[in-house]
Chains A and B, each alone.
Chain A
Amino acid sequence: MIKLSNIDKWYGAFHTLKDCSVNVSRGEVLVICGPSGSGKSTLIKCVNGLEPFQGGEITVDGVSVGAAGTNLPRLRARIGMVFQNFELYPHMSVLENICLAQLKVLKRPRDEAEARAFALLERVGLKDHARKLPSQLSGGQQQRVAIARALAMDPIAMLFDEPTSALDPEMINEVLEVMVQLAQEGMTMMVVTHEMGFARKVADRVVFMDQGEVVEDAATDQFFSAPKSDRAKSFLSRILQHV
């Protein structure tokens, strides 16, 4: 469903992504990990065209992201995205956050949009917080609202960029639980994360990136039991020694 073929991207003279190819099939959960600065955020932002790329091709559900004629807003409306810093709109209530794109992009009637918002808030355990401002919620709660906001568009796939990295440790699980549930329901997901417990539990495949390259792309079991590259091995030993 998501197909990245030989993606090259430069920031000025800096070669950020080098010939990256990744596929995610329908219903598959892909975890992307790698050291800071390796290009994970950049790669995932290319998938919905938030970052332009200079070489290669990305298609989502058969639609080319980079092609000149593509209606990017329409494509993005079908792909949910969750950011490290939540990025809820601080001047709107939780309910408004979840309704905005439903009203303006999908043109849903307000009562329908609100009903959908309440159903999703219930699902992420925040039904009583609909009228609050994001700043009145904890980080974990804000991130669950952000997931609800993305799901309200009935996306065909979800992108997560380090959704738990900005959270206090005690809030990580409440967010991961929502994501695990999504994965088990068959959502197509691309998740940048260092939560290896999450990867083991629900990922079908793990991609390891380093210095702008896809160094390893393996089935989850294989990635953890027998990583092929030395770079992935040393990364894993560094990150897993704390677990």
Chain B
Amino acid sequence: MKDLELIVDSMPFLLQGLGLSLLLAALAAAGGIMMAVVLALLRLSSNRFLSGAAAVYVNFFRSMPLILVIFWFFFLVPMVIGRPVGSFYSALIAFTLFEAAHYTEIIRAGILSVSRGQGWAAAATGLTYGQSLRHVILPQAFRNMTPLLLTQGIILFQDTSLVFVVSLSDFLTTVTIVARNEGRLVSMYVFAALVYFALCFAASRVVGGLQKKAIR
């Protein structure tokens, strides 16, 4: 009972942490997906230089531990732009660039899953390459890959717990602070686990539903 009270009492603080985690995940997912569409198109380009450059980007970030990338940008971004930006923005940039690499492979597969004939049909009616992507190819590609994008989004949300390394208070950090201050490590971490589980379970149910719909 005391544990429950503690959780209720610290709720505003915990919600701040959860809000930061969700905001960071949502912004990085949106930015990462937009960037990944461009990267995927470069990857698929017949220009060897462009597709090679995109491949280097993707493979580089995919081989780096995220925590290292977060660290780097914490030190690198202020150096490049010449003034401090705060840990949230440096973390957001790190997550976006990192997630873009992971989303690129998903989006590339999604684009390839649309049959070549669709592109021909669109081009044959006089649509430009850009128009055919926008109206014909990408809508079908996104429909095919929504489950994978969401799954990656869940992973991204879980990964936001790494931002404690640049002293941001994400959900897990706020939980840890409360747990330490009140000497309630076990119950607070059980609570954290339940919250992560509930959110991710809900999201994966959505994914499952979408997959069933995609099969039909």
Give A130-155 interface residues, CB cut-off 8 Å to B. 146, 149-150, 153
* In the bound complex, CA of A149 to CA of B140 (Å): 19
Contact present for A50 and B135 (CB under 8 Å): no
A101 within 8 A of B: yes
Contact present for B120 and A101 (CB under 8 Å): no
* In the bound complex, CA of A88 to CA of B124 (Å): 12
Question: Given A90-B140, A100-B135, does the pair A45, B120 have CB atoms closer than 8 Å?
Answer: yes
**Interface size class of chain A, counting residues whose CB lies under 8 Å from the partner chain:** 20 to 34
| Chain B 113-124 per-residue mask, 1 if CB under 8 angstroms from chain A, else 0 | 001011011111
Chain B residue contacts of A101, Cβ below 8 A: 122, 125-127
Smallest Cβ-Cβ distance to A78: which chain B residue: B126
Give A67-81 interface residues, CB cut-off 8 Å to B. 72-74, 76-81
Smallest Cβ-Cβ distance to B142: which chain A residue: A91
Q: Which of A45, A73, A81, A83 contacts B128 (CB 8 A)?
A: A73
- What is the CB-to-nearest-CB distance from B15 to chain A, in angstroms, rounded to a whole number? 39
A59 within 8 A of B: no
* In the bound complex, CA of A167 to CA of B65 (Å): 53
Q: Which of B118, B124, B139, B140 contacts A50 (CB 8 A)?
A: B124
B143 within 8 A of A: yes
B207 within 8 A of A: no
Most A Cβ at <10 Å: residue of B121, B122, B140: B121
B131 within 8 A of A: yes
- What is the CB-to-nearest-CB distance from A200 to chain B, in angstroms, rounded to a whole number? 28
Contact present for A91 and B139 (CB under 8 Å): yes
B22 within 8 A of A: no
Q: Which of A48, A50, A88, A104 contacts B127 (CB 8 A)?
A: A104
| Chain A 90-124 per-residue mask, 1 if CB under 8 angstroms from chain B, else 0 | 11000000001100111000000000000000000
B55 within 8 A of A: no
* In the bound complex, CA of A105 to CA of B124 (Å): 11
Using a Cβ–Cβ cut-off of 8 Å, how many residues does chain B contribute to the interface with A? 18
* In the bound complex, CA of A159 to CA of B124 (Å): 10
- What is the CB-to-nearest-CB distance from B38 to chain A, in angstroms, rounded to a whole number? 21
Chain A residue contacts of B140, Cβ below 8 A: 89-91
Chain A residue contacts of B41, Cβ below 8 A: none
B148 within 8 A of A: no
Smallest Cβ-Cβ distance to A101: which chain B residue: B125
B136 within 8 A of A: yes
Contact present for A76 and B123 (CB under 8 Å): yes
Contact present for B126 and A91 (CB under 8 Å): no
| Chain A 156-168 per-residue mask, 1 if CB under 8 angstroms from chain B, else 0 | 0001000000000
* In the bound complex, CA of A79 to CA of B139 (Å): 25
Contact present for A73 and B126 (CB under 8 Å): yes
Chain A residue contacts of B143, Cβ below 8 A: 91
* In the bound complex, CA of A125 to CA of B127 (Å): 26
Contact present for B123 and A73 (CB under 8 Å): yes
* In the bound complex, CA of A45 to CA of B120 (Å): 9
Give B133-176 interface residues, CB cut-off 8 Å to A. 135-136, 139-140, 143
| Chain A 22-60 per-residue mask, 1 if CB under 8 angstroms from chain B, else 0 | 000000000000000000000001001010000000000
* In the bound complex, CA of A91 to CA of B115 (Å): 13
- What is the CB-to-nearest-CB distance from A2 to chain B, in angstroms, rounded to a whole number? 15
Q: Which of A48, A72, A73, A87 contacts B117 (CB 8 A)?
A: A87
- What is the CB-to-nearest-CB distance from A136 to chain B, in angstroms, rounded to a whole number? 13
Q: Which of A85, A90, A91, A149 contacts B125 (CB 8 A)?
A: A149
Contact present for A89 and B118 (CB under 8 Å): yes
* In the bound complex, CA of A100 to CA of B126 (Å): 10
Q: Which of B120, B126, B131, B135 contacts A87 (CB 8 A)?
A: B120
Chain B residue contacts of A83, Cβ below 8 A: 117, 120-121
Would you give 18 A-B contacts (Cβ < 8 Å), ordered by A? Answer: A50-B124, A73-B123, A81-B121, A85-B115, A87-B120, A88-B121, A89-B122, A89-B135, A89-B136, A90-B140, A91-B139, A100-B125, A100-B135, A104-B127, A104-B131, A105-B126, A146-B121, A150-B125
B residues with a Cβ closer than 8 A to A are 115, 117-118, 120-128, 131, 135-136, 139-140, 143
Question: Can you add 10 more A-B contacts, CB < 8 Å, to A76-B125, A153-B126?
Answer: A72-B123, A76-B126, A81-B125, A87-B115, A89-B122, A89-B135, A91-B143, A100-B127, A105-B127, A150-B124
